[in-house]
Structures are given as structure tokens and as C-alpha cells.
Chain A
Amino acid sequence: MSALQTFLLVADHDKQEAKQIAERIAHDVENKKTTLIEVVQSLGEYINDEDPILRGKAVSYLTAVIKALPPKFLTRQQIQVLTTFFCDRIEDGGAVAGLETLQKLDRFNKALAEEVAQAIFGRFQELQSRSQSQRFQVYQLLNELMLNHRDALHEMGDESLVGIVDLMTGEKDPRNLMLVFSILKVVMVEWDISNHVEVLFDSVYNYFPITFRPPPNDPYGITAQDLKDRLQDCIASNSQFAPHSVPSLLDKLDSTSPNVKKDALNALIACIHSYNADAVSTYSITIWDALKFEILNAQEEFLSELSLQVLRDIAARLSEGVTEISDQLPLAQYLRPITKECNDQLREPQQKQAKPAQQILSSTSAASAVSFTLVVRTMVAPLLTFYQEADGIAKQRALLETLVVLFDSAIKVFGEWKSPDPEPTMENPLLEFKDQFSEIFGQALMGVIKEEVSFRTSALKGLLRLSTLRNYFQDNEIGLFVQYLDEIILKEESVGRDDLKKEAISALAVISKHTPRLIMDITFPAFVATLPETDDGNGPNYITTLESLAQISIEKDIFETLVRRLLSKLTILLQKEQPGSAEYPRALLLTILYVMNQREMSKDPNLELYYDRIVVNLCRSAAETASGKATNSILADATVLDILGRLSNLIVRSLPRSKQDEVAENIYTLFASAEVFSPVPFAPSTSDSHQRTMILSTYLLAGLPADTAKLPHTHPNMSALLSDITTRSITSSESGDPATHLAFLRHSALLVNKFLPKTDLNVATDAVFTLLHQITSEEQTPHTTGTIKTAFWLTKALVLRLAPKTTDLLTSLCSLLSSPSPQTSTTASRSFSILLSDDDILSPTNGATIRLLSKQRVFTTLVPLISTRIRDVNITNNTTTNQKANPDHIKPAHLTALSGLLSTISPKLVTPELPTLLPLLLQSLDLRNPDADSLAVRAATLETLAVIIRDNGVSVIEECGHVQSLVTRLLQTTTTGNNNSPRLRADAVKCLALLAVGQHSHADAPAVARAGKLSPLLPVKNQVLRALRFVLDDPKRDVRKAAVDARAAWLRGVDDAPEEED
């Protein structure tokens, strides 16, 4: 059997084999064992066969052989002969592929390309009737010719144009269309199409709008958007299409489908961007007339937005190259009917269509400086007239807002004070109205009764825009505005929610960025003057002033002044014998802290000054106060020390290394000399105010880098220091105040987590086990609570750095919950929230060692332990009557511990454990005791459930089979009995609402997926609706509101039967 015959046999079922045969022959040809002529001749009997399939295979054989030959093997003559041969037989399978191979060769020339093209165009009818994949080959050949031999096709001119259009007519396959559109686009852009504009346009426009929906598992991955984009490129490719494209696209706006309208508008935008300005101008008014309706009677917001973009883009295109403004400009002619329409609508500025008219003004005026000027020239004068004639404040307000819209456009076109881009050369047309604006807006802000908050707010916004607009208001004009704002903030009584005051403060904050000078000269003295010397008991007015100051003092110069002024106030206070309450000094420090938090302190040139004045001086004063050597006791107040600590912490973190070392040496001495103050660690005395300085020491310690070498008491190791601190933290839990206790806890945790070397970790681990041993062995000591908390904090420090023995530690803590002593068990259960909660001091900002997987590790270790233990308790309680085996407090304690954990970890970790957790959560909801623990547990449980439901929908609960039990328990929590606090009731109702809303969002899933599947909530729908009806009468408004929403969600979201898709 000859190679050809074998090829014909295997061609259908073994492509690989066929290819190898062809390669062998090609090899023979190459080695001159046979010749190409012989190969062609061998085809003889088959290529004239009547069976087209056989003919096709024979031609494929030749193609396969050619494909396997090296690219330079064929001579020019051979290529020519083969091309002619293939062209003659183009309708036979394989010929197209052969041509594609040939045209890639270097020796293939222009004349041959033309011959191929003519062959394709000549037989287009036969080619059209082929299968989809064969048509694809043809388009691919054409596409390759376009890439490699475009000149040849281009020179064919109309012949190739018409040929291509004829060939693709009727094509429906998306993959083929992708190719066709890109081929056609080349023709549209590069050919002279003037004789065939309509034919060419129709050839692509027939496909508009594209309604293609990709089949599932589409191997080609073509989306409707891909097709839309290519089609749109074609429509927009040539300005000569304008007479056809614009009217046709506008016609499509009559469609009832918003998606069709969207496609039409997008295509229109593309046309406006790429057609030449003349074409755009010719149709600009036609487009406006059509779009007017879309905007004024907007049905869908996105359609109105797109339409506005069309208007804006036309204005931008027509502004190109315009340097001088005249009424004869195409742009002016385009804008004339638009401004007229807006003018008409804005006569009644409160009516519905005034809003879209504003939007039209906004988008057209923001298009360019020329466009802005034209709009302002025609619109501002009539708007001002309407304003004067307006018969009510509400109407005036609407007009002010229209002007504000124009100011916004002005900012877009001309920029703000400090915009980096160059200013347009054109003069701002608003300049001629400057005095009028000042007067009207100033009058509106300050000259009406105080209750007109929304009116005054609009006026304020207008003045703020004008103050930030580049080169508009002079400093004295902005100064006047600043004075208005000061007056509003300082002198006016509160009205309602104080919206105006809030706006005024943020306006000052904006101005402080542009012109800090004005704020320093006008606002700052006025505000500081209202601050009292001491807290005179006249209520916290100073808080409002300090808040305002904090918000306007972010800029460097103002900040510097602020700190100086507030610190001198504080210094005076510290020297007074009757300084009043500690609230005021705390508020002063808090203000500095707030602003420092907003600024980047490490780049502040005054950092060392702040270090000296705040950290060194004030800490020293605190030490003096603790030793009873100060005039008053302000710095002995725990809350003041806390803020001072935070402030010092912030500064210490940014200090250079040498200064940080200085801080390290003074952590416990607090920069005071030994005669004045003896450091707390190892000190025999334990007065409260003395111990309280540990708050400062802790914050200072937190601010230091982990590799600080100068820490006192850390050589040879820190076990002595640690043991002293833990002892104090245990004893201070009962005697000292909570802030001091917390400081000790944090201090020990910091030492262990951040500063304890890896090699010494056993010091800390041993300490924890010793503490735990004490708790379990000793009967009810006065220090149990303190010991438990200390153990938890130390464990927190260890598990966050994932120290060895993490699992052992956690298991031991967990066993505390089963302690026979209710006090131990309860205290331990509450302390579980300590383990993973974020802490201000033991935080990443302070360089604490927090390993990424630590939370996950703790959670996955503890949840199975808790879950198993609860199951044990449930079983033994059911089987034995001996209650003593498991005292009553054990189960609630485990649930409390769980809720403490859940409240401190991210929901992402919770979801995978859901099957284990859900039963536990449901049991938590069953807790009915009136004590605070059960309330807190239930509140935390509802919070967790809410997150789970919101993130995963009802389906996860359905998978665990708990829908009914969950709903029942939630409903029980909504009633006013059962010790349900209002918050619990509202949260439970919200969870119910989320169930229905969550399942509603699942309706977005493909119809196929949920067809015939009833909502899992359906069985409980009536139960829920009936129960919620009574919640509607809850005494608390928040609960009722939640119930209203929940009922609406259930009524709307849970369908009785799956509705028909339309």
C-alpha cells in the first residue's frame, strides 16, 4: 500500500499517524528520494473522484506534506504551481489549510495573494455553505492575508471590499464573527469605502444589538462583551458611517430593553470619540433631541449617566482646537438648545426635572473651558434673576444648588488652588459675577433664620467651592468666609443634629490646607480664646472647641502652634492648687494625640522638641506627682496617664535610635532622679499612685524596638523582672484600680511577647504553668481572679508568637472551665476573649510578635476541645441523675468561652468549622439566665450568626440541617420574656431578616440551578410571619423597625412557589 493510501485510511481516526506519514514523505522529498511532482501525481486517481470526502482527504494529504517541509524548501515556481492547484480546488477540504501554509512562506508574493483572494471571493457561495469550523479556516486564511499581504488586498480595492462582505454575509458563529469584525475593521479604516458605505455599514450593523449568550463550557471563551466591543469598533471606525450609524443607534433608544439602550449609547460614545469633528457637529443637535428624553425622564440611572456622558463627550469633541469664543462655533450652536431647555426647567427648580437639568449643565459645562464659558454666559444671569424672583427659601435653595453645580464644573475645568496641572489660558467666566456671588451666598449663609439649616448648608458649600477654586477669591474674601464659619461654630446655638456646624468645621479643615495663614490669623485665636483656664464646671463646651481645633490643625504650621498653645495651658494647670476636674487636662492631651495620629510624626522636624516637652517633662512630673511632690494630683489620674502614655508611645516610636535608648534606660525611673522617685519594680512600697505610673512605663516600653539592649533588669535574664511584675499584677487585681492592673498585665505580656529571647521562652511558659497549678490546687484564694487573668495574658503573649507548647497551654486553660469552683470557671470563661482580642499595646504598630497563623491555631485547637466537652456534659446529664458529676456552671462557661473567642476572630475562620459550631451556637441561644454573662454570650452569638448568614446565605445552615431549630430559637429570642434585652431582640430579628435577604440574593443564580428547588425557608415562612407580627408591637422602636424590615424581607424574599422567569 502506498503512503497515500495509508494516509487516506487513517486520516479520519488517527490524526497523529496521518501526520507521521506526511512527515515521512516530506522527509523523502527533502532528501530527494522522491519529488514533489511524484507526490502530486500520486494523487491523480483520487482528486478526480466523485466522492467529495475522498477528494478532500487527497488534497489534505498534499497539504500535510507541504506543512511538514522546511519553510525555505519550496521554490518560487513550486509555490506558484501549488497555489494555482489549491485555488482551483479551493472547495475541496484541505485546500484552504494548504493555502494558509503557502502564504506564510517568504517566496509567496503579492500576485499570488491576489490570486488566492480572488479564488475565495469567486467561490464564496460554496464556502459559506461549509461547516462552522471550515468557515473559520477560510476567515483565518483571509485574516492571515490581511496581516501578511495587506497591500495586495488593498490594491484590489472595491473588489476585495465587496468580496469580503459577500463572504461573511449570513455568518452567525461567534468565533467566526470575532474574526470577521476584525477583518472588516481593517477594510473600514484603510480602504476607500466611499462607493460602498451603506453596504459595509449594514454588513456589521445587522448584528446590532448583540444578544449572544455563551453556552455553558464554551471552549472558545468568547463573551457577549467581546463581540460587542469588536462590533462597536467597526461602527465607530469611519466617519462616513455617521449618516447611517447615528440615526440607527438613536432609533434603538426606543427599545424596551435597557441593555439594548445601553449598547446603543456606548456605541454612540465610541462614534463620538472617533468620528471627525464635522461629523459629530452635524449630528450633535439630533443626538441632543433624542437624549433629552432619556435624561429628563430617566428610567434607569445608568442610562441617564451614559446619556450625560454622550452630551459631555460631544461638547469636548467640539471644543477641540477652539481658542476664541463666538456664537458661530459649532459648539455654541450645539449648546444653544441645551441651555434653553435647562433654562426652562430651572424656572421651577423644585420640580422633578430640575435635577436632570442640573446634571445636564454639570456634564456639558465640565467638558472644557470653552464649553464652560458658553454655559456660564447663557445660564448664570437668568439663574440669578430666578433667584431674586423666587418666592420661597426652598426654591432659592434649589437655585443655589444649581450654581454650586456650576462651581463644581469650574473646579474641574480650572482646578483648585494647588492643582499641579497648568491653568487653562482662558479667563474664568465666573469672575465677572464674583461680587454678586459673595453677596448672595453670604446673605444666604448668615442672613436668614438659624433653623434654615439645609438652605444655609447649600450656601456654605457654594462659598467653600468658590474659596477653593483656583485664582478666584482673594485672601480677604476667603477671610470673610472663615469669619462666618467661626461665628457659626462658636456663637450659634445647636440646631437639630448640628449639621451646619459639622459642615463648617470640615470647610475650615479644607481651607486650612489651602490657606493655613488665614486659619492661623483668624480662626485659631478666636477658638483658643474660648478655652477656659480650668474646668469651670460649665459643661464640656471646651470639648467642642478642642474637637474643632483638632480638625483644622493637621497642617504643619497650625499643628505646631496648636501644640505650643495647648501645652502651655496644661503647664499652667499643673501648677494650680485647685485645677478642677481631670477631664480638662485629659481633653487637652487627647487633642494633641488626635492630631499627632493624623500626621506622620517620624517626618516632623519638631519631633525632638515634643519629646522633651511631652515625654521627658510630663513623665517626670507624673513621677513627682506619684511621690507626692507636686502641687496637684492631675497626673495621678489614671485616664490622664493613659492619654499621656499613648502620646509618649506615639512619639517614642518615631524617635531616632539614640533617643530610644535613653527612653529604655528611663522606663521605670520616668526621667526622675533617684531621690525624687523610686522605680516600681522591686520597690517595697506599693501605694496606689506609685503603682499607677506603670501605665506610663508600659506605654513607653511598647514604643521601643524589640532589639533594645538597654532595658533595665534584663541581665542575665528577665525572669526576676517578670516574676516581680506578675506578682504585682496578681495582687493589684483586687486592691489597685483596674487601669493599674491592666498596665501590669500588659506589661508582662509585652515583655514576654516582644522582648523575651527565644531561648528564654521556658521562663514564661513555666510561669504560666505555675500559676495554673496554683489556681487548681489552692482553694479559693483572694487572688484567684488576678491569677487567672495574668495566666491568660501571659498565654496570649506566648500564643501570638506561636511559642512551643502552645497546644499544652491552651488545653490547660480550657480545663479551668471544668473547675468545680464556679468562680474559677466563670472568670476563666470570661477571660477567653483576652486571648485573641486586638490590643492597643500588644499590637503590630508597636512591633509585637504576632504570627499570621496564631489566630487560626488557637481557634482550631480550642473549638474541638470545647465542643467535645459540651457534648460530654449533655450526654452525662441525660443519662445520669447525679448532677454533681457536672455542676451547672460548666456548660455555660464553655459557651461563654466560645463566644469570647468568636467575637475576636474573623468570620473567615469560622465558616469551615460551621458544622461543629452551629449546634453550639444554638445551645448558646438557649441560655436564659438573667445574669450578664448569658446576655453577653447571646449577644455575641447573634452577632456571629449574623455574619455567617450574611456571608454564606441560608444554604450553609440548610446543609447542616438546622434551619428549623435556628428559626425557632431566633423567634424565642424576639419575645419580650426570657430575659431578652431590647438589643438581643433587635439582633435576633435582624438575623431573621438576613436569612430571607440572603436567600433572595441566591435568586441571582442561574435559573437552571434553582429550578424546581423550593426555598429552604418555605416550611417556616408562616411561623416566622405570624411570630413577627407580635414583635411589631414591641415596646422598643429599634426592635419594631427591625421587625418591619424582617417581615418585608420574608414577604418579598421567600416565594411560595418558584416564579416563572420572564
Chain B
Amino acid sequence: MTTEIQNSNPTILSDADLPTRLRPAEAAKSRAYGSGLFASTLSFPGDSVDPASQYLSAESESEGDDLLEEPIDEQEIYDLISTISDPEHPISLGALAVVSLPDILIKPTLTNVPDSPLRTVTVLITPTITHCSLATVIGLGVRVRLEQSLPPRFRMDVRIKEGTHSTADEVNKQLADKERVAAALENGTLMGVIAKMLETCQ
């Protein structure tokens, strides 16, 4: 690995401007007691003042929401990979705009079999500079993270976004080649770098 920093001063997006999921639960809660300010005044919110009544509330809670399914969507994929750190800087791929929400796609793998649960996730990577030799490492990092975090019915397709890298084809070929990916992951140094990148994922 080269120790020289290739892009020492990349542009950074502010955390507040990154896409996040607005939780419906939070929105709902803010109705009864406002933002919950007053709820803190009462140690027991609402009428569950009787400690023994927790059994009743547990019962009612478990009914409604449980049936609602929350499928894996693009934002969830984004949340998985945007917290990976760049190998050069202690900054997340999301803040560096290396990965972005519009560049993540989830499609059925078999378009002619509508019931198939198989899905393909496509992630397009935008390197911070066009000649960045670390693009492959970043791609590998994203791949490893997805493989560790998605169920077996998902296929990964990690590529460099068109027109953002001088040797995009080369890199893409490497990222798409299962054998080469597997071989790369046997490499201790490389895995060390990737493990460090994934350390910041929460």
C-alpha cells in the first residue's frame, strides 16, 4: 500500500445535509405530549402508573405494528455503507459523497419470475478524484460490508460510476470478478485496511 495521500483536501458534505430516514414512530410520538418534554415531568407517562400494568401495555403494543413489514430499501443500503470510512481520511464515504442515495438501486434479479425473492443491489461509487488508485479498495470495502450485512437472497453489484474515474473499466472488472475478489480478501494487508474502514460502521 502506498502511504502517500492522493487527495489530501477533498470536499466534505455536512452531516446535517446527508439523507436520513425520518422515523414514523417519532412523528407519531410527538402528538400526545408534544415533543415529549412534559412526559419527562411525569415519571410514568400516561396512565401506566401502576407497575403491574406493564403486562397489559406489552400486550397492546405487540399487536398493531408487528404485522407491518418494512422491506429493505435504498436508504437502508445507504445507511449500511455511508458510515464506512475512507481509507485515506477518517471521514465517512457518505460525507465525501463517494456513495450517494440516488446511486443505489435495488431491483429484482430475475425480472421474468415476479415471485422470486432474489434482489440485486447496484451501488455506484464516485471516487473523489478521477485517478484515485484506492477506488478498488473502496469498492471492495463496500462489497464486504454488503456481504456481511445483507441476507443471502441479495446479489451485489458494486461499480464505479460512469465518467468519474480514468480506469473505471479496469476497476469494474476487478470488482465484478468473484475469483479476484475472493483472492483479494485472502490478502492480510488488504483485509486489514478494509477492517479499519469498516470499524466506523454503526
Interchain residue pairs with CB less than 8 A apart (5): A353-B8, A497-B26, A739-B49, A939-B58, A1029-B151
A1037 touches B76 (CB 8 A): yes
User: Knowing A547-B34, A738-B47, A1037-B76 touch, does A593 contact B52 (C-beta < 8 A)?
Assistant: no
Listed stretches B12-20, B99-107, B134-142, B171-179; interface member = B12-20
Which 7 A-B residue pairings sit nearest by Cβ, starting from the closest?
A1033-B151, A454-B16, A932-B59, A1032-B151, A1035-B69, A543-B34, A837-B51
Q: Is A352 an interface residue (CB 8 A)?
A: yes
B151 touches A547 (CB 8 A): no
Q: Is A240 an interface residue (CB 8 A)?
A: no
A840 touches B49 (CB 8 A): yes
Range class of the A interface residue count: 35 or more
A981 touches B47 (CB 8 A): no
Task: Map CB proximity to A onto B152-167 as digits: 1 under 8 Å, 0 otherwise.
Answer: 1100000000000000
A936 touches B55 (CB 8 A): yes
CB neighbours (8 Å) of B187 from chain A are none
B70 touches A353 (CB 8 A): no
Q: Is A1052 an interface residue (CB 8 A)?
A: yes
User: Knowing A1032-B149, A1048-B198 touch, does A935 contact B59 (C-beta < 8 A)?
Assistant: yes
B residues 100-153 near A (Cβ < 8 Å) are: 148-153
User: Knowing A352-B91, A834-B51, A1029-B151 touch, does A932 contact B56 (C-beta < 8 A)?
Assistant: yes
CB neighbours (8 Å) of B28 from chain A are none
B35 touches A502 (CB 8 A): yes
Determine how close the nearest CB of chain B comes to the CB of A732; give it in whole angstroms: 13
A738 touches B53 (CB 8 A): yes
A994 CA to B66 CA, complexed, in Å: 25
User: Knowing A297-B8, A834-B51, A1048-B148 touch, does A1033 contact B153 (C-beta < 8 A)?
Assistant: yes
CB neighbours (8 Å) of B198 from chain A are 1048, 1052
Q: Is B11 an interface residue (CB 8 A)?
A: yes
B8 touches A394 (CB 8 A): no
CB neighbours (8 Å) of A297 from chain B are 5, 8
Q: Add 15 more A-B contacts to A738-B53, A1044-B148 (CB < 8 A).
A: A352-B12, A497-B26, A543-B34, A547-B35, A639-B47, A834-B51, A837-B51, A900-B51, A932-B55, A981-B66, A983-B62, A1033-B153, A1035-B70, A1035-B71, A1047-B148
A830 CA to B55 CA, complexed, in Å: 8
B55 touches A398 (CB 8 A): no
Q: Is B9 an interface residue (CB 8 A)?
A: yes
B residues 75-104 near A (Cβ < 8 Å) are: 76, 80, 89, 91
Range class of the B interface residue count: 35 or more
Task: Map CB proximity to B onto A425-460 as digits: 1 under 8 Å, 0 otherwise.
Answer: 000000000000000000000000000011001000
Q: Is A833 an interface residue (CB 8 A)?
A: yes
Q: Is A1045 an interface residue (CB 8 A)?
A: yes
Determine how close the nearest CB of chain B comes to the CB of A398; give it in whole angstroms: 7
User: Knowing A932-B58, A1048-B201 touch, does A739 contact B47 (C-beta < 8 A)?
Assistant: yes
CB neighbours (8 Å) of A646 from chain B are 42
Chain A residue with Cβ nearest B96: A352
Binding site for B on A (CB under 8 A): 297, 348, 350-353, 355, 394, 397-398, 453-454, 457, 496-499, 502, 540, 543-544, 546-547, 550-551, 587, 590-591, 593-594, 597, 639, 642, 646, 738-739, 742, 789, 830-831, 833-834, 837-838, 840, 900, 904, 932-933, 935-936, 939, 981-983, 1029-1030, 1032-1033, 1035-1037, 1040, 1044-1045, 1047-1048, 1051-1052
CB neighbours (8 Å) of A591 from chain B are 38
A355 touches B12 (CB 8 A): yes
Chain B residue with Cβ nearest A1030: B151
Residue of B14, B61, B72, B151 touching A398 (CB-CB under 8 A) = B14
B41 touches A394 (CB 8 A): no
Determine how close the nearest CB of chain B comes to the CB of A629; give it in whole angstroms: 27
Determine how close the nearest CB of chain A comes to the CB of B13; give it in whole angstroms: 7
CB neighbours (8 Å) of A551 from chain B are 37
Determine how close the nearest CB of chain B comes to the CB of A860; give it in whole angstroms: 21
Chain B residue with Cβ nearest A931: B59
A546 CA to B14 CA, complexed, in Å: 33
User: Knowing A353-B9, A1035-B70, A1048-B149 touch, does A590 contact B59 (C-beta < 8 A)?
Assistant: no
User: Knowing A297-B8, A454-B16, A1036-B70 touch, does A831 contact B22 (C-beta < 8 A)?
Assistant: no
A789 CA to B61 CA, complexed, in Å: 24
Interface of A is mostly: helix
B residues 39-55 near A (Cβ < 8 Å) are: 41-44, 47, 49-55
Chain A residue with Cβ nearest B145: A1048
A457 touches B34 (CB 8 A): no
CB neighbours (8 Å) of B150 from chain A are 1032
Q: Is B202 an interface residue (CB 8 A)?
A: yes
Chain B residue with Cβ nearest A839: B51
A1048 CA to B47 CA, complexed, in Å: 40
B17 touches A497 (CB 8 A): no
A350 CA to B12 CA, complexed, in Å: 6
Determine how close the nearest CB of chain A comes to the CB of B92; give it in whole angstroms: 12
User: Knowing A590-B41, A1032-B149, A1045-B202 touch, does A742 contact B49 (C-beta < 8 A)?
Assistant: yes
CB neighbours (8 Å) of B59 from chain A are 932, 935
A231 CA to B169 CA, complexed, in Å: 57
B14 touches A397 (CB 8 A): yes
B52 touches A1029 (CB 8 A): no
CB neighbours (8 Å) of A789 from chain B are 52
CB neighbours (8 Å) of B17 from chain A are 394, 454
B9 touches A540 (CB 8 A): no
B55 touches A933 (CB 8 A): yes
Residue of A353, A544, A831, A837 touching B34 (CB-CB under 8 A) = A544
Chain B residue with Cβ nearest A301: B90
User: Knowing A352-B9, A352-B89, A935-B58 touch, does A982 contact B66 (C-beta < 8 A)?
Assistant: yes
B16 touches A453 (CB 8 A): yes
A594 touches B41 (CB 8 A): yes
Determine how close the nearest CB of chain B comes to the CB of A114; give it in whole angstroms: 58
A540 touches B31 (CB 8 A): yes
A196 CA to B76 CA, complexed, in Å: 68
CB neighbours (8 Å) of A1048 from chain B are 148-149, 198, 201
Determine how close the nearest CB of chain A comes to the CB of B147; give it in whole angstroms: 10
Q: Is B186 an interface residue (CB 8 A)?
A: no
Q: Is B195 an interface residue (CB 8 A)?
A: yes
B52 touches A831 (CB 8 A): yes
B58 touches A936 (CB 8 A): yes
Chain B residue with Cβ nearest A836: B51
Determine how close the nearest CB of chain B comes to the CB of A653; give it in whole angstroms: 15
Determine how close the nearest CB of chain A comes to the CB of B200; give it in whole angstroms: 11
User: Knowing A350-B11, A1044-B80, A1052-B195 touch, does A982 contact B65 (C-beta < 8 A)?
Assistant: yes
CB neighbours (8 Å) of B72 from chain A are 1040
Determine how close the nearest CB of chain A comes to the CB of B34; give it in whole angstroms: 4
B22 touches A833 (CB 8 A): no
A738 touches B58 (CB 8 A): no
Determine how close the nearest CB of chain A comes to the CB of B57; give it in whole angstroms: 9
B62 touches A1044 (CB 8 A): no
Residue of A394, A639, A1045, A1052 touching B13 (CB-CB under 8 A) = A394
Determine how close the nearest CB of chain A comes to the CB of B61; give it in whole angstroms: 8
User: Knowing A597-B41, A981-B62, A1033-B153 touch, does A834 contact B52 (C-beta < 8 A)?
Assistant: yes
Determine how close the nearest CB of chain B comes to the CB of A597; give it in whole angstroms: 6
Chain B residue with Cβ nearest A937: B55
User: Knowing A297-B5, A1048-B148 touch, does A351 contact B34 (C-beta < 8 A)?
Assistant: no
CB neighbours (8 Å) of A840 from chain B are 42-44, 49
A440 CA to B56 CA, complexed, in Å: 55
Chain A residue with Cβ nearest B36: A547
CB neighbours (8 Å) of A834 from chain B are 51-52
CB neighbours (8 Å) of B50 from chain A are 738, 742
A834 CA to B55 CA, complexed, in Å: 13
A352 CA to B12 CA, complexed, in Å: 6
A453 CA to B16 CA, complexed, in Å: 8
Determine how close the nearest CB of chain A comes to the CB of B78; give it in whole angstroms: 13
A352 touches B38 (CB 8 A): no
Chain B residue with Cβ nearest A832: B52
Determine how close the nearest CB of chain A comes to the CB of B181; give it in whole angstroms: 17
